[in-house]
Amino acid sequence: MLIKEKIEVSNCLKNKVVLITGAGGGIGFEAVKAFAYMGANVIIAEIDKNNGILAEKSINETFSCKLVEFYEIDISNETQINKMVEYINNKYGCPDIIINNATIAKIGALDEITTELWDLSYSVNLKAPFIFTQKYIPMMKNRNSGIIVFVSSSGAAPYMGAYEIFKTSQVELSNTLAMELEKSNIYTYTIAPGLVKTKTAMDAIEIISKEMGMSIEEFYSINKKHIIDVEYAGTGFALSVLKAEAYNGQEISSIQVLMDYNLIGTENIENNSIFKIDENKMEKIRFYMDKISNTYVQQYTGWKAMNIFEKQWVIRDFKKYMGLTVEQANEKIISINNNIKNGNIKIINDEKIFIEKLKEYWKHQLKLLQSYEKNKIKLEENTKIINGWINDISEIL
């Protein structure tokens, strides 16, 4: 196992109860293995009886335990959900962790998908996670603790509307929940697994690639940078709950989690030798990074001085796009700038994802500006300013 070989987290979730849907195989199964290794009691809510039984037997035998229990359920059926909730409450009490992993991928052009398939996808991919939330949030509030994880996808894509629309809606469901639970010890976030060759994904890709006029091999070749091994994806799911407070209100990915635990990296670099550049270029990098740092610090100071309603909106909007609080981003930018001043050019590679996210956030601000600024002169001036910020990051990258 990846975590058994790389990090020490055995029994760190001892006596915790995890409810994970759709975990009879694929990513969910790998997540259950990791949870069992971490000592948690896990309920596998699965529609496929054979897969569920095998998953329970296999994992319990692997760890010589009785931590995993399979519960057969069709989560598109609210009556069955109610029965399962009652069963779990009687046997375990309220789960500490809920992973909304189950999915159904209905593929086809929007004008060809039947309303029956649309409704089924809605029931599994959005309604069920909502029902679980309604059932368990009151219990979690009573004890002031809990974690609810939603599983998102990449967003709008051709022939995937009946799937993506509901999966991306889980992001907004999580964001809304996070805001409502801001002052509690209940955490929620969404996690995207990446492109994983599970049976569900491969069946869908076979249809999508055909619709797009390419072979399956061509599809995977085009998207090879986004493919992640199923064990890595599942391990990312499980490990994410250990950092639930840090990820609260964010949309993250399995890859991000694994990088946060140093299980994978963009490059295995032991020294800065390949980053040695001439002093003129180094001065240019220092110049632009200093500009970026000053720009953000000025923004940060301005946000903190806003009235409570404006400040809350900006801070939430920033966290949604950046995956960090404004305070965390401020500390990170200052640290990057200080590293570069001291000649550590490698920091740009280490923090490339963060720097690229900041660039996208400023593009988002530019888009917002076009909508609300009605004064043409101010619009031109501020457009030029924000484009300058975006250019500064382009120069660094």
**Catalytic residue numbers, as ranges:** 163
Concatenated DSSP letters for 193-223?
Answer: --B---HHHHHHHHHHHHHTT--HHHHHHHT
CB atoms within 10 A of CB 313: 11
Q: Please name the residue ranges forming H helices in the chain.
A: 2-6, 26-37, 49-62, 78-91, 115-122, 128-143, 161-180, 199-211, 216-222, 230-240, 244-247, 254-260, 279-304, 308-322, 326-341, 346-350, 352-372, 376-396
Q: Are residues 95 and 18 in contact, defined by beta-carbon separation less than 8 angstroms?
A: yes
Q: Are residues 54 and 75 in contact, defined by beta-carbon separation less than 8 angstroms?
A: no
The Cα 53–Cα 196 span in angstroms is 23
CB atoms within 10 A of CB 396: 19
CB atoms within 10 A of CB 363: 16
What would the two tokens of residue 125 be?
């991919």
Residues in CB range of 105: below 8 A, 6 or more apart: 160, 163, 200, 201, 203, 204
